[in-house]
Amino acid sequence: MQNLDNSRRDFLAAGITAGLTALGCNNSNDVFTPDDSTVKASGKKVKLLSSDGEIIEVDEAFLKPIPEMPPVSNDVARLGIAGKKFVMVIDLSRCKNLKKCQSACNHVHHVHSDQNWIKVYPMQDAEKTAPYWQPTTCMHCDEPPCVKVCPVDATFKRKDGIVLIDSDRCIGCRFCMAACPYSTRVFNWEKPEMPQELADKPYSCESSVPQKKGTVGKCDFCPDMVREGSLPHCVSACPNGVFSFGDMNEDSVTNGSETFQFSELIRDKAGYRLMEDLGTKPSVYYLPPVNRNFPFESGMEQERERESAVRKS
Amino acid sequence: MENNQLTQQTVQDLLPQRFGKKGMIWTGILILLSAFGAFAYFLQLRDGLVVTSMRDYVSWGIYISNFVFFVAISLVGSLITAVFRLVDVHWSTPLTRIAEIIAVSAIVFASIIIVVDMGRPDRFYNLLLYGRLQSPIIWDVIVISTYFIISLLLLYFPLLPDIKFLLNAKNSATKKWNGFYRAIGSFWKDKPEQIRISNRAISILCITIIPVAFSIHTVTSWLFATTYRPGWDSTNFGAYFISGAFLVGSGAVLVAMYVFRSAYHLEKYITEQHFDKMSRIVVLLALLYAYFNINEYLVPAFKMKKPEEAHLTELFTGEFAPLFWFAILAGMAVPIMILLFKLGRKPLPAFIAGVMVVVGAWFKRYLIVTPTLLHPFLPMHDVPKNYLHYFPSWQEWAIAIGSLAGALLVITFFARIFPIIPIQETLIEQHEKAA
């Protein structure tokens, strides 16, 4: 996982924040006093939010990189993170089809751009209604149809609400793809393209890499990041704060720069879930595309680029 | 004395014969097609399912529709052997073994083709290691293997009394298999006790195979009906599949009757009467299947709910319309019209109607599987153009055709090694008639 972790770190500037979260759990009295007395203060201060909600200033030199955490075993990955119930809120009024979420996700998971785990749909519900951009991830349903039909328990639901795939167990029957009403699952029809070094690594359910030929893949809510206290890649990659991620039990979600009380957000902005009538109980909530930050047309350029790219390929 | 002569003549007529030139060519073609299918499967194993035209939207293609077809056709074994036996129908005696070998061969190839469809056939054992009872696939694994075993026994037990004829045969058409015959049936001595046990076993099997047969095809329909998708989300599916299965199986029996009758000169045993009666059954089953089709299409078409609308218009007037109307006409309407007339129930027209039923049924299964997948709830988006359509690749055709050829090959070899019409039972009926 070394290579993968590094690539993630390059990709994600959030490493430092994550390190702090890890330190915050430490029992020593002052977590910002360096263990190693040789570290000298640089004089450059960084503003941080402490775990009790106060803004504190810490010398940059005292920040520690997050420790290397080996991925949890696939048996542990099946259980989920105790006490958590993860939830995502997607604010449609902020999306302009930039697809930074998609490219970040594809990059980290080595997903081919023909088989995006995150899709941004141009939606128009009826002839006279307004069009809008709708990003979709896996819905991580509480009544997941995919898990119901899987014959070998390769796709499973965890206590923290996340639905994952064990690619070492998947037999490739694709029943889950037929069962999923959100068309969120993709199949590795051929050997996935990735560096050989990565392909040789053991599969981790929490990072969903390396993807394996003949098995199903999908959005995993990045539980490896979440375990480290970081946000899923799509959330931190979106410059418009479309995605917010959090814990239902704490009733809070954040897009990285803003933090919301989940219940308040859903109440005030009339949040809803996709295809509620099917009874799948998704963990992804949508905020309707009202008072938009961008006109729908602003996303069209991206769409045309994509289409011409597809035509070339 | 006369009776004895009749017996000898019957045995001589019904024993397997050497293949003529036609038979050799037929077998050769089937072997070639099967081998080519196996080669295509080798390519698929090497490169992955990417050699197919299936992609993320159409994730099930002709492998799955071919699987449904095989499961469907295999149901005829239970109809002709079990249902007819239980309701004391005797005219079907010469057809029981034909129906049963179709059943066994089809169910074997249903299992093969479902493994072909798997992305990781090397992990098949996971079904045993981690199988979860809540998945309809596990139900299918259980009922199909049960059905296979019962069908095999229903083929085997009535065969036991015939093995002595094979061993005693003076002509040498089957001499080289004598060791095999001895291994599987030399213990059979026509003892009253053996006959009693065998009859009892067959009765039990005939009763148990009916719910199992209903289960295999109902569960197969549930692979689709347990999902939300328009075109599959239907409570009609179990009955719709079962009725279609009995129809295609009976159509296949009509075809097989004609072929065996001409190839083995069995006109005395498979008579015009048999064609007449079997044709009437096909008409009845076609009407029944038409009834379930009307339920399946007319009720959602009346409402035209948005997701259903896209699917139904595609079938009725869109891209799949030619195939859809072909399947309806060739699979049901035209065979009914042919077989309603006395002249249509003669061997040749009945054979043609049977072929139409079988071919129509194959495409019908394709229409049940594929068009639905092209109409997901969220619009198809952000994928290459070739993900938006489905036409099977040559490898898929080669494998599907190879599997059909393989199933026919099993039936062909069986007919070469064993009497395709039960000898003992035919003799018993002759005696009963004489007395």
Q: Cα separation of B308 and B331, whole Å?
A: 23
Which has the higher per-residue pLDDT, B216 or A69?
B216
Looking at residues A194-216, what average pLDDT do you find?
Answer: 94
**Residues 6+ positions from B378 with CB-CB distance below 8 Å:** A119, A121, A136, A182, A183
SS3 at position A244: strand
Predicted confidence (pLDDT) at residue A4 exceeds the cutoff of 90? no
pLDDT exceeds 60 at position A299: yes
Q: Which residues of A touch B49 (CB under 8 A)?
A: 172, 187, 189-190, 214
Q: Is the pLDDT at B95 greater than 90, yes or no?
A: yes
Q: Is A295 touching B (CB cutoff 8 A)? A: no
Q: Return the residue of B nearest to A97 by Cα.
A: B382
State pLDDT tens for residues B56-92: 999 999 999 999 999 999 998 888 888 888 888 889 9
Q: Does B377 touch chain A (CB under 8 A)?
A: yes
What pLDDT is recorded for position A21? 43
For the residues of B13-72, what is the DSSP string, one character each? HHS-----HHHHHHHHHHHHHHHHHHHHHHHHHHH-GGGSS--SSS-S-HHHHHHHHHHH
Tokens at B215, concatenated: 């289960």
pLDDT of residue A52: 72
Q: Is the bond preceding residue A151 a cis peptide, omega within 30 degrees?
A: no
pLDDT bracket for residue A68 (50, 70, 90): low
Domains of chain A: 2-62 (no CATH), 85-296 (3.30.70.20)
| Chain A nearest C-alpha distance from B57 (Å) | 8
The token duo for B305 is 């709910």
* pLDDT cut 90: percent of chain B above it: 88
| Contact check, Cβ <8 Å, B384/A172 | no
Q: Which residues of B touch A185 (CB under 8 A)?
A: 56
Scan residues 111-140 of A and list those with Cβ closer than 8 Å to B.
Answer: 114-116, 119-123, 136
Q: What is d(CA A273, CA B243) in angstroms, rounded to the nearest whole number?
A: 39
With CB atoms and an 8 Å threshold, state whether B118 touches A189: no
Hey, what are A27's tokens? Answer: 């029992």
Neighbour-count burial of A165, counting CB atoms closer than 10 A to its CB (0-12 exposed, 13-18 middle, 19+ buried): buried
A173 contacts chain B (CB < 8 A): yes
pLDDT above 60 (res A125): yes
Backbone angles phi, psi at A295, to 5 degrees: -70, 155
Our CA angle for B118, B119, B121, nearest 5°, is: 60
The residue among A149, A168, A154, A174 whose CA lies nearest residue B137 is A149
Mean pLDDT of A144-162: 97
Any B CB within 8 A of A279 CB: no
Instruction: Tell me, yes or no, if B131 comes closer than 8 A to chain A by beta carbon.
Output: yes
Choose from A141, A143, A174, A274 for mutation: most chain B CBs within 10 A.
Answer: A174
Rounded to whole angstroms, how far apart are CA atoms B31 and B28?
A: 5
Looking at the partner chain, which of A171, A178, A213 has a beta carbon nearest the beta carbon of B127? A171
pTM of the predicted model as reported, rounded to 2 decimal places:
0.90
Is the pLDDT at B3 greater than 80? The verdict is no
Backbone CA torsion sign across B233, B234, B240, B242: positive
B233 touching A (Cβ < 8 Å): no
Q: In chain A, how many H helices and how many E strands? A: 11, 13
Residue in the block written with tokens 């720069």: A257
Q: pLDDT-derived band of residue A20, with 50, 70 and 90 as boundaries?
A: very low
Give the gap in angstroms from C-alpha B84 to the nearest C-alpha of chain A.
Answer: 36
CA of residue B98 relative to chain centroid, distance = 11
Residues in chain B with CB shorter than 8 Å from the CB of A123 are 379
Chain B partners within 8 Å of A151 (Cβ): 127, 131-132, 135, 137-138, 141
State the Cα–Cα distance between residues B59 and A172, nearest whole angstrom: 10
Q: Is the pLDDT of residue A17 over 60?
A: no
CB-based burial, B224-239: b 16+ in 10 Å, e otherwise: bbbbbbbbbbbebbbb
Local structure of A55: helix, strand or coil: strand
Longest dimension (CA), chain B: 82
Judge: A179–B228 Cβ closer than 8 Å, yes or no. yes
Interface confidence, given as ipTM, is: 0.93
DSSP A259: E
Closest CB to B50 among A119, A169, A189? A189
The minimum CA-CA distance between B426 and chain A, rounded to whole Å, is 45
Which residue do the tokens 């990659």 mark? A237
Q: How far is B135 from chain A (nearest CA, A)?
A: 4
Distance, CA of A203 to CA of A208 (rounded, Å): 7
Chain B residue with Cα closest to A122: B381
Distance CA A89, CA B68 (A): 41
What is the distance between the alpha carbons of residues B357 and B335, in angstroms, rounded to a whole number? 7
Contact A169 B123 (CB under 8 A): yes
Average pLDDT, integer, range A292-297: 94
Look at residues A53, A45, A58 and name the one whose alpha carbon lies nearest to residue A19: A58
- Nearest alpha carbon to residue B247 among B207, B205, B283: B283
Whether B228 has its CB under 8 Å from any CB of chain A: the answer is yes
DSSP strands (E only) in A113-154 = 119-123, 132-136
- Per residue in B367-419, pLDDT (tens digit) is 999 999 999 999 999 999 999 999 999 999 999 999 999 999 999 999 999 99
CB contact under 8 A, B49 and A214: yes
Check A121 against B136: CB less than 8 A apart: no
